[in-house]
Amino acid sequence: MISVSIGIPAHNEASNIGLLLETLSKQKLKDDFILKEIVVVASGCTDRTEDVVEKHRRYDPRINLIVEEERRGKASAVNILLRKCKSTVLVMEPADTLPKDCSLYHLIAPFKDRSVGATGGRPLPVNPENTVIGWIPHVIWDLHHYIATLEDSQGKYFHISGEFCAIRSGIINKMPETIVNDDAYIGLQIRNMGYKVAYVPEATVAMKGPTNIFDIVSQRRRVVFGHMQLERGYGADIASTKITQIARMIFKVLKLQPKKFIGTFAGMSLEAFSHFLARRDFKKGKLHHKWRMVPSTKSLMA
C-alpha cells in the first residue's frame, strides 16, 4: 500500500479552501494508493481560513490544521509539510486551486515506479479566453505545457508546477526559506539525486491567473526572480528565463490560436517588462520569498 499525504499552504484563503477540501475528500484513488491525511498550513491568516478548515475537519478526520502564527513565506510552510507529512508520497497544492476529477490519482500513479521522485501536473486557467487580459494566463500556461512536454520527452524535465505536484517523501527534508520558486527547487534537487521527474498532463488543476496588468507584472516579476535565483545559485537551466527562446516557442502556441495574436503580444510585452524588473531586483539584492499577494487570483469561482 502506498500512502499519500496532501499538503496545502494557505494564507487568507477562506473563500477558496472549503471547496478545495471538499473536492479532495471526494477524490477516488485506485490500485494500492490510500489517502492518509490532508494537512493545511495556515500561515499568518487574518481571515476565517482556520475556521473553515476546522469546520471541514469535523466531517473528514483526515484533515489536519497546522497554524503558523507569522507568515514567513511559502518555503517555510513547505518545510513544515516536509517535516510533518510521513506518507510515501506528499502532494502539494495551493489553497486557491481545484483539481479535476481523477487528477489526484493521475498525479500519484507514476510513483508505482520506485525510480520516480517527483511529478508535476498541468494547471488550466479559468480566465475567459475572449479578452486580451484573460488570454494572457492561457499563453503563459500553454507555453509551460509545451516546454514541460518537450523536456519530459528529452529526460530534462524538473520544473514541477507548484499548483499541483507530488514528491516521494524522504528525498528532500528541508529547503532554504529564501527560495522563491519552491517547486522548481525541489524538482531540480530530486532530479540531481538521480530520480526521475515526470510531467503528467492528465493531472489537471483549475487555477485563476491575474486579471489586471498590475497583478500580472507583480506575479511574473516574482516568478522570474525565482528562476534567476535557481539559475545563478543552483545551476538550473530554465527555458522561460530566456526571452529569445520564448519568442521562438510562442509561434507553436499561436499555431493553435492564431486569432489571439493581440493577447499574445501583450503577454510577451508584460513578460519582457517583468524580466527587466526582476533583473533589477536581483542586482539590488531584493528578496521575494514573502511575496505580495495577487488579489485578482483569489476568487477561483468568480
**More confident position, 94 or 248:** 94
Q: Tens of pLDDT along 149-185?
A: 989 999 999 999 999 999 999 999 998 888 888 899 9
What value, to the nearest 5°, has the Cα angle with vertex 301 and ends 300 and 302? 95
pLDDT computed for residue 257 by the predictor = 59
Q: What does each C-alpha distance from 294 to 97, 126, 185, 300 come to in angstroms?
A: 14, 16, 22, 12
pLDDT computed for residue 287 by the predictor = 64
Tell me the C-alpha distance between 170 and 189, whole Å. 12
At 200, the pLDDT band (50, 70, 90 cuts) reads: very high
160 phi, psi to nearest 5 deg: -65, 150
Does the pTM exceed 0.85? yes
Q: Which three cell numbers stand for residue 254?
A: 499561436
pLDDT computed for residue 252 by the predictor = 63
Q: Of the candidates 165, 173, 213, 205, which has an alpha carbon nearest to the alpha carbon of residue 189?
A: 173
Q: Tens of pLDDT along 116-142?
A: 999 999 999 999 888 888 888 888 888
Q: Which three cell numbers stand for residue 137?
A: 494566463
At 66, the pLDDT band (50, 70, 90 cuts) reads: very high
On the question of pLDDT at 9 being above 90, the answer is yes
Tell me the C-alpha distance between 136 and 129, whole Å. 8
* Half-sphere CA count of 274, side-chain side, radius 13 A: 26
At 39, the pLDDT band (50, 70, 90 cuts) reads: very high
Task: Please state the rounded mean pLDDT for residues 248-265.
Answer: 65
Task: Please state the rounded mean pLDDT for residues 244-264.
Answer: 64
pLDDT computed for residue 143 by the predictor = 84
For the stretch 28-40, what's the b/e string if a residue is b when 16 or more beta carbons lie within 10 angstroms of its beta carbon?
eeeeebebbbbbb
pLDDT computed for residue 144 by the predictor = 87
On the question of pLDDT at 106 being above 90, the answer is yes
At 248, the pLDDT band (50, 70, 90 cuts) reads: low
